[in-house]
Amino acid sequence: MTRFEVIALGVGDTFSEHHHPTSLLLVADGCKLAIDCPDMYRRVLRDASLKGAGPLALTDIDDVLLTHVHGDHMNGLEGVGYLKYFADHKRLRLHTLPEVLEVLWERRLHVSMGRLWDGEAFKDMRFEDYFDARPLAWEGVNRIGPFEVEIRRTRHHVPTCALRVRFGGRILGYSCDTAFDLDLIEWLSGADLIVHETNLGPAHTLASDLAGLPESLRKKMCLIHYPDSLDLQTVPIRALLEGDVLKV
């Protein structure tokens, strides 16, 4: 049994000058599961690698779990889909919500990926040419490689899922994007490690709200998705940095 590790690839929000957008890489038993896929994804992997996360290559990642359709979480899908298609001649396994699958191709990716030109003729492309879609079930356990994944709806602008991921008797909890939600935090509270978002606005969680949680929760919690303006010294919870590798 190998370790269950979480690598912080990006820790910022979509407006950040200092960080890549929030994304994680879960590693266990020889499997790498990407949680979300920001733009310039190979650069994101390389930067985390240079900051201490060890060698990270896109060729080693065949599974992406997409939590919702906001651009900071999914703008890399086009490039990754193309690279897998053209260079690796394989499809990316895309694990996501039924609500995301309803709109992802027709309303986001089709406009750019729906047609290819080979120098002579145009070819109409389908979602299935690039992606192997694996819908996540809201109820019960989803199996992705060695991981057991449960999802829960968060309070956000669009359908978005928080995660509980089990491997080897350990549990990672991830809030994903959400307004402050004590019921969600209760759902995450049994995890060995909790990664929680913080940002400004009604659809995100204020760091001051998380700072008010019991110490037993704060001790096993890390912050992600934080704005550049947040003074990390003022929050009694560890903030993740790009390249951090955490044992769950």
Binding site for Zn ion (CB under 5 A): 70, 177
Q: How many CB atoms lie within 10 A of CB 185?
A: 21
Between 70 and 170, name the residue whose CB sits nearer to Zn ion. 70
Parallel/antiparallel/unpaired status of strands 63-66 and 245-247? unpaired
CB of 68 to Zn ion, least distance (A): 6
Q: How many angstroms from the chain centroid is the CA of residue 65? A: 6
Quick one: tokens of 127? 């979602």
Closest to Zn ion by CB, 62 vs 177, is 177
Q: Shortest Cβ distance from residue 182 to Zn ion (Å)?
A: 20
Residue 177 Cβ vs Zn ion, minimum distance, rounded to whole Å: 4
Q: What are phi and psi of 151, to 5 degrees?
A: -125, 155
Torsion sign (Cα): 112, 127, 22, 158: positive
Please identify, using beta-carbon distances, which residue of 27 and 162 lies nearer to Zn ion: 162
In the complex with Zn ion, the residue whose CB is nearer, 58 or 77, is 77
| CB closer to Zn ion, 104 vs 248 | 104
CB of 154 to Zn ion, least distance (A): 9
Q: How far is CA 102 from the centre of its chain?
A: 19
Are 207 and 236 in contact, with CB atoms under 8 Å apart?
no
Specify the residue, 14 or 189, whose C-beta has the smaller distance to Zn ion: 14
In whole angstroms, how close is the CB of 162 to Zn ion at the nearest point? 12
**For residue 164, what are the CA distances in angstroms to 38, 143, 152, 170?**
21, 12, 8, 10
Shortest gap between Cβ of 203 and Zn ion (angstroms)? 7
Give the rounded distance of the alpha carbon of 54 from its chain centre.
19
- Whether 171 contacts 248, CB under 8 Å: yes
